[in-house]
Chain A
């Protein structure tokens, strides 16, 4: 690992060190749980509420899409093709007369599950590689570091396209491809966390008590190095939404009748001149989701700093 300068990683707030109480903590010792919650709530700004509510809405769209829309996302409506947004169809209808709002709501599940797959692949691969590299050191570390260098030297989109050429098209394959291209980020942070923790006193104590290498790794080092890795998840989830929708937009991801955000944009693109509203819904959905997720991530980092 040769990177010693800020790369894209600087955008992700890194709070690896658990902050010491540095005097400006707003909590007096001995506060009850309710006071704690109130103190947290007082610091929230409107933008925090908005992004939280938006993500909540998205979760409802995933869990119970029928609550938010009464239309079938796949049912074509003759005689209502390319209708402008109105009372009946909030976001208008597409070229087959399908209700766009409903396709967007049902598309949330497609997009979110693909992103979840991507983040899981990236997280699992990254944690395994980072743990092995950081703990075993030596040639394993050298090998993993070269793999990470390789993954970092090819831009994510191109890397996912290589994987897609190998695996074939489809929503799941696109998700796996995006996941593989995010392994490097997770592996880097895991490795540096493991290196930080490997030599701490409690690890040494565990070893003196007869804990073997595998047991030390899984029971002591892994749980203690996970924190900063997990804080990366919302950001990577947002990134995965963007990459997956880009792959779907290019036609490498979800397959047409499926409602997927990137695919909705791609379908609406042909009617850019005559029916630009087809892009507004899906476009706003992508932007607001990613924006909300990154905002919540920053909020979480801020709260952890203030109330630890």
Chain B
């Protein structure tokens, strides 16, 4: 995890190429083409964004540490001084030495931070196991769950949005347009329990007890996928609707393209750009959502570890989970920002550090980078 944090600046190394591609496909041909100067400014932009991400992750760690350990009600001291379950003196001495309770809060924090950089996340207060071990045990199952859920969310969002915008039946369009707000209003534990009741108890398709194997993954992943889908669906519906209103659609129709080809090749690629960015941001939500989903389906993983840690007020584990999720969020956010020009060639990273401006496209229908006016063939 710490490695992930420190790898930030290295991750976006490949982002120089989208600039070249943008030039080649879009603006190079035109005489007034605005050429982004790749190089120094780009590198500074990447470094600035990476530095900002690193700063935010560091602040998350600092604030969470402060909230969990430095405020009154220090969990370690509580555990030592718990009158019902006294810790034997020699063990207490070990704990005091490990957590340096005889030092000041700032010194304690610095020592904890030093250990973090050596890969030592501390020990669970509840079970006494190393937090790193708990992570190693749970992370695989949760990442698999998140990955499948991510795929399901993409599938749901695409299907719902396409039919909500392009279905020929007004009733279907109206019904599907309700989906985002309905899904947003339904807590994921209800979705999970409903699916469990329907598919396990009523229909008997999936065992409620068997949580291993692909069959045990389907319902939790579906629940988690539905939980993160509404915002993406909503943005995709808007994006497709806006793309559909643009004049280039008329050009495509005039070219004689079939409806499905216009939707699949042109409208989806144009209208999905905002949704793609949002999709990147849902990855942290997937991990956080696994707390509820794994608890509903009683499935081992990072979410269940987190839930038990909160239940037993096991601060070191909670701190590690927060650090992991914040780092994941920041890295994904950073990557999404940097590969943006790759997805949408109209967007280029200018030398002014954060500003984005569309490249001018004097020729060709505005708005659709996929459309170049028919070159002889049509």
Contact = CB atoms under 8 A, between A and B. Distances in A.
Interface of A: 2, 4-8, 10-11, 146-147, 149-150, 153-159, 161-166, 168, 238, 242, 245-246, 249-252, 262, 265, 269, 272-273, 276, 279, 283, 286-287, 290-291, 294-295
Interface string B314-334: 110010011001100110010
Contacts of A295: 181
Interface string B51-63: 0100111011001
Contact of A6 (B63, B182, B278): B278
Which of A162, A283, A286 gathers most chain B CB within 10 Å?
A162
A158 B321 contact: yes
Interface residues of B, number: 65
A246 B281 contact: no
A250 B291 contact: yes
Contact of B189 (A7, A150, A249, A294): A249
8 contacts: A10-B231, A10-B235, A158-B288, A164-B310, A165-B318, A272-B201, A273-B197, A287-B182
Contacts of A146: 55-56, 59
Given A165-B75, A165-B314, A272-B197, 10 more contacts: A8-B278, A10-B231, A10-B235, A156-B288, A164-B310, A242-B185, A251-B311, A262-B189, A279-B193, A295-B181
A154 B62 CA distance: 13
A246 B201 contact: no
A293 B284 CA distance: 27
A273 B356 contact: no
Contacts, number: 156
A32 to B, nearest CB: 35
B197 A153 contact: no
Interface of B: 49, 52, 55-57, 59-60, 63-64, 67-68, 71, 73, 75, 180-182, 184-190, 193-194, 196-197, 201, 230-231, 234-235, 238, 274, 277-278, 281, 284-285, 287-289, 291-292, 295-296, 306-307, 309-311, 313-315, 318, 321-322, 325-326, 329-330, 333, 354, 356
A149 B311 CA distance: 27
Contact of A287 (B59, B67, B185, B295): B185
A185 to B, nearest CB: 13
